[in-house]
Structure 1
Amino acid sequence: MDRKKIIIIGGGAAGFFCAANLDEQKFDVIILEQHSDVLQKVKISGGGRCNVTHACFDPRELAGFYPRGNKELLSVFHKFQPGDTIDWFEQRNVPLTIENDNRIFPESNSSQTIINTLVKEVSDKNFNIKTKSVVNGIVKQDSQYLIQTNSGDYTADYVVYTTGSAPKSLKLIQNLGHQIVDPVPSLFTFNIKNELLNDLPGTSFTNAEVSIPQLKTEESGPMLITHWGLSGPAILKISAWKARELADLKYQFEILVNFLGIDIETAEETFKKFRNENPKKTIGTSKVFDITSRFWHRILWISKVDLNKNISNISAKEIQSILQNLCGNRMKVTGKSTYKDEFVTAGGVNLKEINFKNMSSKILENVYVAGEVLNIDAVTGGFNFQACWSEAWLIAQDLNSIEL
């Protein structure tokens, strides 16, 4: 039997996982990657440890982590979800481990383990991996496709389009007839110039609350002061859910920050209880809340309270000022910084044009689309990869079921 030719355009998570699950008896597969290295995002994910997926095993709950694509992914996750991802890697002797925040990493703590496994799977099937192959055009020719690259042309019976969200790759598939939702950054940190945050990068808060009054939205979770402003899951969740609205605001807006994650009344009770129990302490040495001494001193300075003042002599007005700065701090955001190198965008191929039973294009015959080129994205925590694994698995199952 003559094997059918599949060209996978894009050597990232979705492209490789699809290839790794294809039947080598039926298909001759070539992966075209424009860079000199494959699986680049896998390599840098999770600080080089690779946040493979997330310990959320209920498809409905899982879909809730995707600001764009949650409805469409529900059926996809019913067929392949994080439990299946764990099984897939464990069957290939790559044990994964669940961390306290439910993120899942390889036990080796190295993204190279994941890369090696995927590359080995694909190489063992004798599929071809061609790096530095830039696709310049895709032309439909009768029942096949001609893929034009900087290193020659290829013909394909089936095309799997897993290019990521680079503008050029969106343009290519748009030229073939797909509608593109303009991409905007999805995961980013907030640039804030505020004297409360100056010189305190690395200071973290276990459960902060952040709201954008203008957009009537709020999120909570760990938060971090950076050189540029604020980051951490609480910020990244808001940036993902409100990616389009924040782009419309040109990243100029006001946020309300509660560093303690408790309401001002509870904070006041905590303060007064501490004061009653420690009447002789100075305010500067008082560990009233679970924050660093440096941050506490900065709050007192901003609130114009003398560090050496006895806690029992703090006036009601001074207490209110301290609590307002801790629990209801208004800050002006003046821009964004992309979250590390894990660049994720909202936008891409219009989801109405994809059949989510098998990730095939409704516009182009024998073309499948998966990964970040779709208008799907998630909050941080391994969810973006899980969408890639699940979508790619569906494509492979569909192709494998074709009677040749």
Structure 2
Amino acid sequence: MKIAIIGGGAAGFFAAINIKENHPESDVVIFEKSQFLLSKVRVSGGGRCNLTNNCTGIKELSTAYPRGGNALKKAFRHFDHTDAIHWFESRGVPLVTQEDNCVFPSSQNSQSIIDCFLEQAAKANIKIELRMEVKAITPIGAQLQLDFVGTRNPVRIFDKVIVTTGGSPRKEGLRWLEKLGHHIESPVPSLFSFKIADDPITELMGIVVEKALVSIQGTRLRSAGPLLVTHWGLSGPAILTLSSLGARWLNERNYHCNIQVNWTNLRNQEDVLAQLNNIANAHPKKLLANLRPFSVPDRLWNYLLEKSGLSINRKWGEIGKTGFNKLINVLTNDVYAITGQTQFRDEFVTCGGVSLDSIDINTMQSKACKNLYFAGEVMDIDGVTGGYNFQAAWTTAFIAAKLN
């Protein structure tokens, strides 16, 4: 049985290796259109590769996908995060789970994952061909013909084909799959930072608030987690998650909206007022600048005091009701105008792709073309962080590799 994998990334290698384990007699070849393999694995997680997340179970895991969560809930019964952890560790890659439940190789180096894939592929005699871009797939009876761009042998015939080309920034990049009868959800960016133009908050670049609540004004879109102030605006896990949740909504509005930041991590303003009153009663003579609530970084605290019209030299016992109201508002409802988005080019993630309506999620086989399968981000599946996106790649590739 001759099998083609289109795409030399995470899902492609995972599918190829598992095919050889399921069907050792098969002839498997990976076609990669560029000259680089596993490029997103290399840069993921700042070069450390967050390869999954250690969740409490499938229910929690599936909620991390704004697109595809319900379908993945079924798929995770075949291969979930615990299976992924076992898969890598059983193949000589020790892993470590951080406090935030992100799982990384113990080496803290994505090269460990790349080496694992290359070694497993070599051991299984998987062929790899670079600079081989597929421009069309044509059914020929029960087989599939691949047409390549500008090669000496532009046509190859296979019994099974798995498409693992990753996310496409434009719908035109998926036109060759649309021609086969698949519905394509228009791709838009996901997982990006927010630009804020001409706001003094950017002068605080480098400041991290470990626990912040962020939301998009006028919507139910909200997230929580670490927030990073950058020279262009706001970033960090809380912002990336929010961008993922609101990917299509934000795209439709050309990335212009208001974002609300709660720096306290407390949802109830009465709780915030109670803590501020406790400080004022216990330390009435201390200067506002010298006693920071909610572990707010000092530069940010001074900025928020100035924004609320309170002098850093004012004493806690002198704030008064009006001052407390201003302080509570800026701490829990700090509003910024978003003027655009900044993508992490190398870690580009898309919302959109081949619609799950066109795919049998139990087998990952196309409903429009027999013996054609899909895995990874080429489908309309994406998670709130890189680790969840990799987990979707492992799961869908594992199921596709059964070739049912």
The CA distance in 1 between the partners of 2:249 and 2:101, in whole Å, is 29
Which residue number corresponds to residue 402 of structure 1?
Answer: none
Secondary structure at 1:189's aligned position in 2? strand
Q: How far 1:276 sits from its partner (Å)?
A: 2.0
Q: What pairs with 1:232-251 in structure 2 (closer than 5 Å)?
A: 232-251=236-255
* Contact persistence 2:54–2:81 (CA under 8 A): yes
The CA distance in 2 between the partners of 1:87 and 1:242, in whole Å, is 33
Partner amino acid, structure 2, of 1:352: D
The CA distance in 2 between the partners of 1:391 and 1:347, in whole Å, is 16
Which residue number corresponds to residue 106 of structure 1?
Answer: 105
TM-score by length of 2: 0.94
The CA distance in 2 between the partners of 1:127 and 1:289, in whole Å, is 55
Q: What whole-Å deviation, never above 9, does each CA across 1:243-286 have from its counterpart, x for those lacking one?
A: 11111122111222111122332222222211222222222222
Q: What pairs with 1:175-190 in structure 2 (closer than 5 Å)?
A: 175-190=179-194
1:363 equivalent in alignment to 2:365 = no
Name structure 2 gaps, 5 residues minimum.
none
Which residue number corresponds to residue 227 of structure 1?
Answer: 231
Match 1:197 to one of 189, 201, 221: 201
TM-score by length of 1: 0.94
Q: What pairs with 1:217-296 in structure 2 (closer than 5 Å)?
A: 217-262=221-266, 263-296=268-301
The CA distance in 1 between the partners of 2:224 and 2:161, in whole Å, is 42
Secondary structure at 1:67's aligned position in 2? coil
Secondary structure at 1:365's aligned position in 2? coil
Identity %: 39
Number of aligned residue pairs: give it.
Answer: 396
For structure 1, which segment, 238-247 or 351-360, has the greater mean C-alpha deviation from structure 2 after superposition?
238-247
The CA distance in 1 between the partners of 2:238 and 2:341, in whole Å, is 15
Secondary structure at 2:243's aligned position in 1? helix
Partner amino acid, structure 2, of 1:241: L
Give me the CA root mean square deviation.
1.7
Question: CA, structure 1 residues 57+296, in 2 after alignment: closer, same or farther (shift >3 Å)?
Answer: closer
Which residue number corresponds to residue 317 of structure 1?
Answer: 322
* Contact persistence 2:139–2:369 (CA under 8 A): no
Secondary structure at 1:160's aligned position in 2? strand
Secondary structure at 2:24's aligned position in 1? coil
For structure 1, which segment, 205-214 or 359-368, has the greater mean C-alpha deviation from structure 2 after superposition?
205-214
The CA distance in 2 between the partners of 1:51 and 1:89, in whole Å, is 13
Q: How far 1:218 sits from its partner (Å)?
A: 2.1
The CA distance in 2 between the partners of 1:6 and 1:288, in whole Å, is 61
* Contact persistence 1:181–1:348 (CA under 8 A): yes
* Contact persistence 2:217–2:257 (CA under 8 A): no
Q: How far 1:201 sits from its partner (Å)?
A: 1.4
* Contact persistence 1:196–1:302 (CA under 8 A): no
Secondary structure at 1:297's aligned position in 2? helix
Q: What whole-Å deviation, never above 9, does each CA across 1:305-359 have from its counterpart, x for those lacking one?
A: 2222233222332222222111111221111111463211111111111111110
Which residue number corresponds to residue 81 of structure 2?
Answer: 82
Which residue number corresponds to residue 165 of structure 1?
Answer: 167
Which residue number corresponds to residue 19 of structure 1?
Answer: 16
* Contact persistence 1:203–1:224 (CA under 8 A): yes
For structure 1, which segment, 359-368 or 295-304, has the greater mean C-alpha deviation from structure 2 after superposition?
295-304
Which residue number corresponds to residue 40 of structure 1?
Answer: 39
Q: How far 1:132 sits from its partner (Å)?
A: 1.7
Q: What pairs with 1:301-340 in structure 2 (closer than 5 Å)?
A: 301-339=306-344
Partner amino acid, structure 1, of 2:358: E
* Contact persistence 1:10–1:164 (CA under 8 A): yes
Which residue number corresponds to residue 7 of structure 2?
Answer: 10
Partner amino acid, structure 2, of 1:382: G
Secondary structure at 1:71's aligned position in 2? helix
Which residue number corresponds to residue 143 of structure 1?
Answer: 142
Q: How far 1:205 sits from its partner (Å)?
A: 1.4
1:121 equivalent in alignment to 2:120 = yes
The CA distance in 2 between the partners of 1:179 and 1:366, in whole Å, is 17
Q: How far 1:57 sits from its partner (Å)?
A: 4.9
Secondary structure at 2:346's aligned position in 1? coil
The CA distance in 2 between the partners of 1:184 and 1:277, in whole Å, is 52
Q: What whole-Å deviation, never above 9, does each CA across 1:221-248 have from its counterpart, x for those lacking one?
A: 2211122211222222221122111111
